[in-house]
Chains A and B, each alone.
Chain A
Amino acid sequence: MNLEIKDLRVFYGKIEAIKGISVSVNQGEIVTLIGANGAGKTTTLKTISGLRPVTSGSIIFNGQDISKLPAHERVELGISQAPEGRGIFPGMTVLENLEIGKYFRKDRKAEMQEDLDKVFQLFPRLKERVTQAGGTLSGGEQQMLAIGRALMARPQVLLLDEPSMGLAPMMIQNIFNIITAINKELGTTILLVEQNAQQALQRANRAYVLETGKVVKEAKASDLLNDPDVRAAYLGTGAH
């Protein structure tokens, strides 16, 4: 498994949001993109999953250029995303939300129970709420549901867009523990976009720092944790 983004450019109308980004994600890694608001993190992720069209550059997944494929076909190839703001279906139950995560799978009936068990093992809370409507879950539970739903598609690479957004500190810890567990136990490669740089850098293998649509730094996550520039810009000083 290998995801390679080469010199990616994305425009919103006349505004260039991504100005030539190159990112590579290898099998089994957790890679994180960090940066301030408007740096282009979410746009990069949306372009990889296919929600935004590519202006120029290429996205290569397992040797195949997928930059022209519609989003739903990229899911079939093994790229799943838990979108920003969770994007769960508020009027469907937790179970229905999870089931639709398997929408495209040919033998979804045979796989369903196995994968549901897998998700419920990662997120026992979801099992308790299985008949409850998605819109009535708490923020943390919705995030669990969004990640669980993305896992139902048996992705090779999981794209996570700000999983910590709007969550209480305890829940952030919890979610990041589960993300690490998904990577270690299921072997799923993870591309993580985060504003919570502290947590993201602690969990990730490698990291890219984005600033106004460009990669300004690329290094091992542990190195960036100690990088004075990064500390000053994204980590704050005393706090963590």
Chain B
Amino acid sequence: MSTKNSLRNFNIRDKGAAIWSGWNRFQRTSFGIAMILLAGALPFAGNYSFSNFLNTPISNFADVLVYPVGMFVLMSLGLNIVVGKSGMLDLGYVAFFAIGAYTMAICGKWTDLNTWEILPLGIAFAMIAGVLLGIPTLRLRGDYLAIVTMGFGEIVRITALNTQKIGGPNGMANVPNPPSIHTPVGVLDFNIMTPNSFYWFVLILILLTIWMIRRLSVRRPGRAWEAIRQDEDAAELMGVPTLKYKIWSFTLGAGVGGAAGVVYASKTLYVSPDAFTFNISVLILSCVVFGGIGNIWGVVLGGVFLAYLPERIRFISNARQLVFGLTLVIIMNFRPDGILPRKKREKLHAPAAESGAK
């Protein structure tokens, strides 16, 4: 029992934050760059004896890093804006992923646009879908919102399933490859023949998303989301236009999902309604909860872990799902707030408050 409690109370997040706050700007920047380089070097991990335990059997490691790992991290970050930052339960997040992927497939096959030109389009369409869904539904709260968003996720999938023009249940094959990009620095070239470039492209998207969320969090939208999450009525009474900010949060989350969809379609070169089931929404939500709702680094960890684990243990075939489920149950039991929970300030200083006079 005591080990269980100490595990529960062990707060990596606070320890990390304490070390981080003790650093100066130079140390922080170097640490950030080192971490980015380390993440960038991940595809090579399989080549060296000291790190080849990371290698995934059966599937290609560099591919696994793009899908599912990269996609899951990207989508978890997007969903975290909605669930973690502003406290709205969205069970239909896969809809935006699907809209991004179908945008890529349709525009890629029917027009001359390439992946790089379709990416902003996919984001835009997902965001428009976010606004359209958000305006009528975000007046709802809690469970009701969860059910409506779940319905939306299914509507998008079933629409794709029943629209013969976009392949119906067969989906769309032969989505075009992204064209190469040549840069002055040869290593940074994007070339579909080198599997690592796709991973680096996803990594850049992830870093951009993290940067965006961090910028917004310390500014007015972040304050508004935080207030809405903690007490929506009180936020409204403080003059926060809650509906507007909820739609913003929803739309930004949708945009990130759309970006993930475009990348997914141009990586797998094939989209079909089967890829966008309710399962994905739940899995992405699990990544967010498992990693630690509201904490970017926790969510990244959650996404990496939940996407990577099933691939890593693929060699045990059928027992894989069992092991995956058991791992989730066990870890959530020890760390109910996630691996890296967000700072819980309402619990700090609690003894001091009790000593205060009534």
Contacts and interface: CB of A to CB of B under 8 A. Distances in A.
Interface stretch (A5-13, A87-95, A182-190): A87-95
A140 B233 contact: no
A90 B231 CA distance: 9
A50 interface: yes
Contacts, number: 107
A136 B353 contact: yes
A15 interface: no
Nearest to A86: B234
Interface residues of B, number: 31
A138 B357 contact: yes
Interface in B323-358: 344-350, 352-354, 356-358
Contact of A103 (B239, B349, B352): B239
A170 interface: yes
Interface in B226-251: 226-227, 230-231, 233-243
Interface of B is mostly: helix
B239 A75 contact: yes
A171 B357 CA distance: 9
Contacts of A72: 236, 238-242
A134 interface: yes
Given A103-B238, A104-B239, A132 B353 contact: yes
A51 B237 contact: yes
B231 A87 contact: yes
Interface stretch (A22-30, A76-84, A112-120, A209-217): A76-84
A132 B227 CA distance: 17
A4 interface: no
Contact of B236 (A51, A137, A141): A51
A90 B239 contact: no
Contacts of A134: 346
B353 A89 contact: no
Contacts of B348: 133, 136
Interface in B209-237: 220, 223-224, 226-227, 230-231, 233-237
Contacts of A141: 353, 356
Nearest to A141: B356
A71 interface: yes
B231 A71 contact: no
B108 to A, nearest CB: 42
Given A100-B223, A103-B223, A133 B240 contact: no
B358 A88 contact: no
7 contacts: A70-B243, A72-B238, A89-B234, A91-B346, A105-B239, A153-B239, A170-B358
The 8 nearest A-B residue pairs measured at CB: A135-B346, A104-B239, A75-B239, A87-B234, A136-B353, A133-B345, A90-B346, A168-B358
Interface of B: 220, 223-224, 226-227, 230-231, 233-243, 344-350, 352-354, 356-358
